[in-house]
Structure 1
Amino acid sequence: MSIVLKVENVEKYYGNKGNLTKAVDGISFQVMDGEFVGIMGASGSGKTTLLNCISTLDSVTSGNIFIKGQNITNFKGKGLAKFRRDELGFVFQDFNLLDTMTVFENIALALSIQGVPAKKMESLVLESARKLGIEDILSKYPYQISGGQKQRASCARAIITDPKLILADEPTGALDSKSAKMLLDSMCKLNLEQESTILMVTHDAFTASYANRIIFIKDGRIFNEIRKGDSTRKEFFNQIIDVVSLLGGEMNDVI
């Protein structure tokens, strides 16, 4: 297995010398090809800031982030935009679908930007939709489908360019429990069958239990890490709850 993501002693500060906030404090870890890794932490722990740095939406104060051996902290301007477009897939809590476009057009958007021919684009969209089980809604608009379908459409859009890394930020945050389970089952399928590498930020223990490894962050630092191994998802969920209790978080924050 090769290293997809390598985070090296990353720090992120906000503010100035008189009022300095250290959001990420010397974090280092790796994600291997085909892993499904979750990042957990209470609100304000630094988990979203860390994801923003990995996704190139924010810059680090110090340290390095490598994706498939490329140091993304050195990228700027058009090079950065191209890398983000071609190598990363994004799944956001609020779906980020365009209401004036059909589901098909939303999924195809990344290919349109890359200049992929229409004939090839159609087959790629159909394949991507099939993996997420949404072939029957491609002609509909976002306002005509459920939240769960919107998020699966967002996932289909994220994987269509065959990115090196899929980044998911609270992907179940806006979903009901049934829709959340359907989405997480789809993400697991992508991870197992397509060997997609996924890094997911969540505060929810049920959502986190679908990952294979969890990195816990507290006050901008790595607090603990656990692996699912041969445990059942229920057993892994209980392990996650145990660590969360050590973090000092209230149960209502994670369930």
Structure 2
Amino acid sequence: MSKTVLKVQNIEKYYGSSGVVTKAINNISFQVDEGEFIGIMGASGSGKTTLLNCISTIDKVTSGHINIGDKDITELNKKEIAKFRREELGFIFQDFNILDTLTAYENIALALSIMKIDSENIDRRVKEVAETLNITDILNKYPYELSGGEKQRVAAARAIITNPSLILADEPTGALDSKAAKLLLESLEGLNKIRNSTIMMVTHDPFTASYAKRILFIKDGKIFNEIIRGKDSRKEFFNRIIEVVSLLGGDVRDVY
């Protein structure tokens, strides 16, 4: 039986006050099992980023519950949230968010240093993830010496180094050219298959989404549709994604 990593129950998120209230998330429920690679898609303003922010503990829900592992993160205080985020979540952002003053190796190792892991163990783990992501030869370089794709793979290595319960990727290919994007997506696919990493990726791009195994489409703060890749080739899944994107209505270009 699959272990449930993420359980989202009836969450709602409101913004605003004095009678002007925006409902960014409207009663969303779903769950993600260990080893899943799930994509979240939707046009600009659909609520997908708010959903990611609530799951990542950056934002708080107005109502409902979010369980990651055995913890209800909606019940944690600030100190508990900081510890939980550090130990249980891995983040990959569109703009890399790696530190310019540290080498690739040091950027990846930083989270383990903060957790007071011994240097021998850190060295072994950094080299393992670097090999998985094919960045062994750039570990001693600084960010200014790296391409965008290399920076993003360093960011991916940093995200998985603590063996988090859940990796959250926010438009991870947004700042990359098509070749670098493809390399990163193949790396994420590899992490999912080889390390059984559980990945949740927000994207507006059908090509990027086609690497996931399941996709939730968000519209007006609600789940509009869900598709599962199953035995489809990536190209077949891409075509099915395009079909749903066209059903979403409005300006389809918003979703590309």
Amino acid at match of 2:52: L
Report the Cα offset of residue 250 of structure 1: 3.7
Aligned residue for 2:169? Answer: 168
- Over the matched positions of the two proteins, sequence identity in percent amounts to 66
Aligned residue for 1:46? Answer: 47
Amino acid at match of 2:8: V
CA deviation string 1:84-107 (max 9, x = no partner): 000000000000000011000100
Aligned residue for 2:116? Answer: 115
SS in 2 for 1:161: coil
**CA distance in 1: counterparts of 2:146 and 2:216, whole angstroms:** 34
**CA distance in 1: counterparts of 2:251 and 2:210, whole angstroms:** 18
Residue pairs, 1:101-140, within 5 angstroms: 101-140=102-141
Aligned residue for 2:84? Answer: 83
**CA distance in 2: counterparts of 1:250 and 1:108, whole angstroms:** 43
**CA distance in 2: counterparts of 1:52 and 1:75, whole angstroms:** 15
CA contact (8 A) 1:168 1:199 kept: yes
CA contact (8 A) 1:204 1:253 kept: no
**CA distance in 2: counterparts of 1:188 and 1:251, whole angstroms:** 27
CA deviation string 1:61-96 (max 9, x = no partner): 000000112101011122111100000000000000
Aligned residue for 2:66? Answer: 65
Aligned residue for 1:185? Answer: 186
**CA distance in 1: counterparts of 2:120 and 2:233, whole angstroms:** 43
**CA distance in 1: counterparts of 2:252 and 2:14, whole angstroms:** 29
Amino acid at match of 1:197: T
**CA distance in 2: counterparts of 1:51 and 1:72, whole angstroms:** 13
SS in 1 for 2:231: coil
Aligned residue for 1:242? Answer: 243
Residue pairs, 1:134-153, within 5 angstroms: 134-153=135-154
SS in 1 for 2:181: helix
Aligned residue for 1:158? Answer: 159
Number of matched pairs? 255
CA contact (8 A) 1:87 1:165 kept: yes
CA contact (8 A) 1:25 1:221 kept: yes
Aligned residue for 2:208? Answer: 207
**CA distance in 2: counterparts of 1:114 and 1:21, whole angstroms:** 39
Moved over 2 A (4+): 249-255
TM-score, length of structure 1 as denominator length: 0.98
Report whether the alignment pairs 1:55 with 2:53: no
CA contact (8 A) 1:91 1:169 kept: yes
Report the Cα offset of residue 11 of structure 1: 0.4
Aligned residue for 2:221? Answer: 220
Amino acid at match of 1:204: D
Report the Cα offset of residue 235 of structure 1: 0.6
**CA distance in 2: counterparts of 1:175 and 1:237, whole angstroms:** 19
Aligned residue for 1:23? Answer: 24
**CA distance in 2: counterparts of 1:18 and 1:251, whole angstroms:** 31
CA contact (8 A) 1:215 1:222 kept: yes
Report the Cα offset of residue 254 of structure 1: 3.8
SS in 1 for 2:172: coil
**CA distance in 2: counterparts of 1:238 and 1:157, whole angstroms:** 32
TM-score, length of structure 2 as denominator length: 0.98
Report the Cα offset of residue 252 of structure 1: 3.3
CA deviation string 1:26-79 (max 9, x = no partner): 000000110000000000000000000000011000000001121010111221
Report the Cα offset of residue 159 of structure 1: 0.3
Unaligned runs of 5+ in 1: none
